[in-house]
Amino acid sequence: MNGTAEKTANVSYSLNEFRKSLAVPLLDGEFAFGTGMTDPVWRCAVRAEDFVRFGSGTAGRPPKKSAMALFRTGTDLVVGFFFTEPEAERTRPPENTPGATVWHGDHAELHFGSMGPDPWLLQLCIGITGIRFDSSGADIWQSAVFETKEGWGAEVKIPLAMLLLTEGGMAFNLCRGSLKSGEFSCWSPLRKRFHEVENFGELLFADYGTVSFLRGGVAASSPLTREAFERLRNTWEIPAGRVIHGPYVSAPDAGSVCISWETAGRVPAYLEYRKKGSDEPPRRADSSKRSGILASECTHFVRLTGLAPETEYEFTLFSLTPVTDAPVRSGEPHVFKTLPPPGKDFSFFCVTDLHSDAVFLSRAMETVEAREAAFHLLLGDNLSHAAGREALYRGVIDPIVEVNRSSGRDIPLVFVRGNHEQLGVFATEFFRVMRHPSGRTWYAFSCGSVFFVILDSGDDKSDSPERPLFSNTEMLAEEREFLARLVRESSWEKALFRIVFIHIPPFTEEDVQSEVVRPLAFAGTPPDIMFSGHWHAYARIDKNAAAFADTTAQTLKDRVRGLLPMPFPRIAPGTDNVLSCRVSGNRLDVSVLRLARNGEKSVADTLTVFAGEK
């Protein structure tokens, strides 16, 4: 499938093999409304008689003929229909009966709508006696019912202002109710109810060739027929439940992980998981429940808890089909490994400032150091600009998922928000794609005997009245309070190592981040090391040092002055660096690797920290 076709307008929720379509012609000139479809204008309308029985979605033709015709003007959509119905079998609502409605007699229901990107549904009903129903309450449309010896029908004129188009079209269905014979039929097959916008057909307000180009990027060499268009569209439509991004494992902690994925459309979803190779029945974990119902979403997020340490688990994704709620399995099982228990050796891997460099990211994730790690950490500025979820997926998540898929194991991800993740209209999409169960971008977790702290450095510019979007001052104050409490907790004090990550490094007294991390500097037990990014060039400041280490890039030595000493070393990898850190017994070995474009690795710097080192 080409990239042009992968868009919301092409997502299909339909259970039908083919979605029916009608290109509605635009007709100029005057016409007489209410002639029982005898005005000459009806000869130019598009017609359809392929009605089917209601229910089960079968294509069985009903015994009585139904037909419809449609055209449009510059202001209205005009629909005409005629239902074959002998006089003796027609049912009329009882006259002068309180509460009698359109559904007490033979009737037609016209349904319009869309599943997205802006969902809507409009129901207009016309009874054989002219009685009407309008789900919008607007009642600004016209109808004229007529009867003949063969049956009954109506002309309906609907202002275009009542309808919404999505790339030249809208969902549509015409349904028939014949009460005495118990015959219910519809133009587009339905399963359970007339309101199934998922299974409606579609009206097109352009010719089939134009819509083909708009939707699928396919330019027709000759005019397309309805049948040819429906077959072609079937090749580019995307089932709503298809997994288009992920799954990926993130936010690991002792005994827990989170799993995220995105489907093409909004569907209820869940996963089933168990220990790899186990015969025990899988457990189910729902993506999202709201007040007793499994919510329909595109982005799905599940947190698994109570997991055994350093154990492989397998999980399988499921979605529910629209209307019938039948479970559909999405692909083969995926495998992840939980974090090791206290006292166990492990390593972790880190990259920073990717700025959507998917090629470098893939190369980094393919290294031996990355594949052996207990988790991968992305240290911020994954993008240059928050251009929506798709940018986060294609620029960051998808390359990682692809490497994981080829290796057969999903390694958990830890996300640090950088300043560039705050830029753009879709900056808050970070909380959908790179979310943490706390709902915050600063938190702590444990792996083995190590206590990790993730901080959010905010933007690299100060809040001001000229920048009303940002409230980083408030956020950083919350983080400072969070750290002040954290360093007094037993989990901090008793950890073998304490490691802190923050995107913008606190190098100088003027750095806002220096004030944020001040509780760490004065803690009874300070961190053992801090990792940052942001500068795009390698930097290292040793414990209590007021100058950069010799391995620091000269550009930073020339640019950054007045370094603030801290009672722990600080390392900031450059854009061509990756970090591989191993905890073995009471030592932490940090390897700063330079990863060339051709895939070659070299050691840029190393540092060893011993537990309890003063």
Residues 504-547 have pLDDT tens digits of 999 998 888 998 998 998 899 999 999 999 999 999 999 999 99
DSSP 8-state class, residue 91: -
Burial label for 246, CB within 10 Å (0-12, 13-18, 19+), is: buried
Alpha helices in 295-442 (DSSP H): 358-365, 368-371, 389-392, 398-407, 430-433
pLDDT at 121 over 70: yes
Pair 394, 366: CB distance under 8 Å: no
* pLDDT computed for residue 6 by the predictor: 52
pTM: 0.92
Return d(Cα 536, Cα 320) in angstroms, integer.
45
pLDDT-based confidence at residue 2 (cuts at 50, 70, 90) = very low
**Quick check: 597 pLDDT over 70?**
yes
> Which is the CATH superfamily of the domain at 242-338?
Immunoglobulins (2.60.40.10)
Q: What are 303's two structure tokens? A: 């947190």
Q: Could you read off the pLDDT of 556-579 as tens digits, one per residue?
A: 999 999 999 999 999 999 999 999
Count of alpha carbons within 13 angstroms of residue 123, beta-carbon side: 13
What's the CA gap between 61 and 96, in Å, rounded? 36
Q: What is the pLDDT of residue 8?
A: 66
Closest CA to 212 of 196, 238, 184, 236: 236
Q: Among the listed ranges 56-70, 290-304, 411-425, which one has the minimum average pLDDT value?
A: 56-70
SS3 447: strand
d(CA 339, CA 313): 12
Tokens 């093409």, residue located? 264
| SS3 call for 608 | strand
CA angle 557, 558, 562 (to 5 degrees): 70
pLDDT in tens, 209-237: 998 888 878 777 778 999 999 998 888 88
Domains in the chain: boundaries: 3-238, 242-338
CA dihedral 277, 283, 289, 292 (to 10 degrees): 160
Strand 450-454 with 497-501, pairing? parallel
Residue 202 reports pLDDT greater than 90:
yes
Q: Is 303 left (phi over 0), alpha (psi -120 to 50) or beta?
A: beta
Taking the CB of residue 211, how many other CB atoms lie within 10 A of it? 23
Which of 92, 78, 40 shows the shortest CA–CA distance to 154? Answer: 78
* Band (5; pLDDT cuts 50, 70, 90): very low
Confidence of residue 3 (pLDDT cuts 50, 70, 90): very low
Give the chain's mean pLDDT: 93
Q: How many CA atoms, within 13 angstroms, populate the side-chain half-sphere of residue 4?
A: 10
Contact 564, 506 (CB under 8 A): yes
- Identify the three-state secondary structure at position 213: helix
242-338 has the same fold as 3-238: yes
Share of the chain above pLDDT 90, in %: 81
Backbone angles phi, psi at 408, to 5 degrees: 85, 10
What is the layout of strands, in order, in the sheet containing 297-304?
A: 297-304, 256-267, 243-253, 413-415, 375-378, 346-351, 577-584, 587-595, 601-610
Tell me if 241 sits within 8 A of 260, measured CB to CB.
Answer: no
Tell me: pLDDT of 4 over 50: no
The whole-angstrom separation of Cα 270 and Cα 489 is: 36
Which tokens in the block code for residue 197? 């916008």
The yes or no reply on domain 3-238 and CATH 2.60.40.1190 is yes
Q: What is the pLDDT of residue 59?
A: 61
Whether the Cβ atoms of residue 22 and residue 206 lie closer than 8 Å to each other:
no
Q: What is the DSSP letter of 107?
A: E
* Separation CA 577–CA 595 (nearest Å): 6
Beta bridge partners of 202: 21, 171
* 611, pLDDT greater than 80: yes
The phi and psi torsions of 345 (rounded to 5 degrees) equal -70, 150
Asked if 179 contacts 106 with a C-beta cutoff of 8 angstroms, the reply is yes
Q: What are the beta bridge partners of residue 303?
A: 258
pLDDT band at 142 (very low <50, low <70, confident <90, very high): very high
Per residue in 305-355, pLDDT (tens digit) is: 999 999 999 999 999 999 999 999 998 999 999 999 999 999 999 999 999
- Checking 177-182 for CB contacts under 8 A at 24+ apart, the result is 177/103, 177/106, 177/107, 177/108, 177/109, 178/64, 178/83, 178/85, 178/89, 178/91, 178/106, 179/91, 179/105, 179/106, 180/89, 180/90, 180/91, 180/106, 181/64, 181/89
